[in-house]
Structure 1
Amino acid sequence: MKLKYVLPVILVVTLTSCGRFGNSKSDTTDTRIVCLSKQYNEVIYALGAEKNLVAVDLSSTYPPAIKSLPTVGYHRALSAEGIIAQNPTLVIHDNNIGPEPVMRQLEKMKIPMKTFADSVYTIEQDKAMIRQLGSYFKKESQADSLCKQLDAEITQALANVHQYTDTPKVVIIHFGRAMNIYLAITQKSTAAKMISWAGGIIPIGGDKGMQQVSAEMIAQADPDVILLTDFGYDKLGSIEKIKELPGVAGTRAAQSNRIYRIEEHDIVYLGPRTGANVLAFQKLIHAVK
């Protein structure tokens, strides 16, 4: 085996064995869960059921406490060695994982796996996911409270829409790439639903929820508001730098300084904070003080 492949495995095993991530003798005899879904992980923390999590996928970034756990790769580019090194008694995923050779290797090792709702595109499906996880972790009352809060916040957001006279066009950019190509969120996305619930519209179409678009497409969309996810915004560093980007400079959003930073995990999936996130987006896109 080449050295470059050996080192990551050694590092994972070393970090795990030294207890950096809080895996003490008192909890290693209990269930050891590796969860490969950012949606599930957020719900698990919201339920207060995270004590048996020992590792997560790279896309699981909320809540902040989850960043103290080791990661086993991006959910579509997982490391079998990283997962195995955590000695899991259960792997939880949402059927959006890979690559296939890694999954076959885990199946051969007979590591137990479990999925919950893997289609979460509506508020009802969102609540069903929360309740399923609540039932599994014996946190039914917490799940019920989360669902009630979600309902209340979405109801408030939808009621708020009636007071607005505008329907702002919102372009969401994940990050810019070479040759003036951007990775943008389209009308066929969870984000588009959330922006719609907030009283706005995403003008960029496409077959996928997130796809590459040209600077010309951004300019033609001429959004009233531009939202940049944390990765892209932080890479550029300031609104002035963003306003200099090809395709962005001449938009109404740039001219009125209506360019805002958002966290990617707030916009790409539905979860227990979806109602709160929609309310927050509502304030941004309608310029509510």
Structure 2
Amino acid sequence: MIRLAALCAFLAGPALADAYPNAQRIISVGGSVTEIVYALGEQDRLVGRDTTSSYPVAARALPDVGYMRRLSPEGVLSINPDLVLAEEGAGPPETIALLQGAALPMETIPGGYDRDAVGAKIFSVAQALGVPEKGRALSQQVLAEIDAALTEVAQQTRPPRVLFVLSMQGGRIMAAGANTSAQGILNLVGAQNALSGVDGYKLVTDEAIANSQADVILMMDRNAGRHQADVLRHPAILTTPAGVNQRLIRMDGLKLLGFSVRTGTAVRELSAALTQVQG
């Protein structure tokens, strides 16, 4: 009942963004935002996207204006957009200021790493595009998928301790602490973040890795392919159950961490992978 009340509140509440129903040359910045634009059936209005917008595959054919946190104002303005939809955290600030100074309409789409944040993000994109009814329908559909997935994962017995490894740099591991999308997806599947006392994505000490006593290592697929062997041979990892049993899960990063239209699928896939890898 609480979830239903929360859904009704944001669907019936005030607009989450200004509406630009006439915008026909839109740049989408942020993979989750681009996924939503496509899921709403409004992709024909897109004329550009950022590097993180890799799904669906059709989005890759659009001009790339750069990584969402290192946007070039020249790259954005060269496409002559009439609207930029930017995921929260896009930047750098000086680029955003220049674009706003050029009188380019911009809407920042709220982030968040939980179930309700997904619904708010979808509805905010739809509102900005001037298609709120599509947003309500898609929000309801996606949240129903997430709820169904959460019902399935609630059957787990002992929550596994999972260490999310973002990358390795010079033999040191960058892992996810609190207030991250990795923490958010682990919360949804009922797993524990094995790394405690850390906020954000940080390079962590070997001692912290060993003390994590992680049951499973989780990585994005694009990084795991390059670093999997090194991670599983890392001396600190080898002191953990994950290292001893060589338990590592690889998943598509945008699906796993995007908190967008595929989050329900991500919950199901990660939960199934955790069950399989633990035997």
- TM-score w.r.t. length of structure 1: 0.79
**Secondary structure of the residue that 2:193 maps to in structure 1?**
coil
Q: 1:272 is matched with which residue?
A: 261
Matched, 1:84 2:84: no
**Secondary structure of the residue that 1:73 maps to in structure 2?**
coil
**Aligned-pair identity (%):** 28
Q: How many residues align?
A: 257
Distance in 1 between the 2:72 and 2:197 partners? Answer: 31
**Secondary structure of the residue that 1:147 maps to in structure 2?**
helix
Distance in 1 between the 2:133 and 2:105 partners? Answer: 27
Distance in 2 between the 1:148 and 1:108 partners? Answer: 37
Q: 2:34 is matched with which residue?
A: 41
Q: 2:119 is matched with which residue?
A: 127
2:223 to 206, 229, 232: 232
Gaps of 5+ in 2: 1-21
Q: Which moved more, 1:83-92 or 1:185-194?
A: 185-194
Distance in 2 between the 1:191 and 1:184 partners? Answer: 9
Distance in 2 between the 1:132 and 1:188 partners? Answer: 22
Gaps of 5+ in 1: 1-28
1:164 to 156, 165, 186: 156
Larger Rg: 1
Distance 1:244 1:275, change over 3 A: same
Q: For residues 244-263 of structure 1, what are the structure 2 equivalents within 5 Å? A: 244-263=233-252
Distance in 1 between the 2:23 and 2:64 partners? Answer: 20
Matched, 1:218 2:209: yes
- TM-score w.r.t. length of structure 2: 0.82
User: RMSD across aligned C-alpha pairs, in angstroms?
Assistant: 2.5
Residue type of the alignment partner of 1:159: T
Q: CA deviation at 1:41?
A: 1.2
How big is each residue's C-alpha offset from its partner over 1:75-110, in whole Å with a ceiling of 9 and x where there is no partner?
221111111111111122234222233223222322
Matched, 1:111 2:81: no
* 8 Å CA contact retained: 2:107, 2:128: no
How big is each residue's C-alpha offset from its partner over 1:175-211, in whole Å with a ceiling of 9 and x where there is no partner?
1001x22111113223223212212110213453322
How big is each residue's C-alpha offset from its partner over 1:32-77, in whole Å with a ceiling of 9 and x where there is no partner?
1112222211111111211121222222222222222222222221
Q: 2:200 is matched with which residue?
A: 209
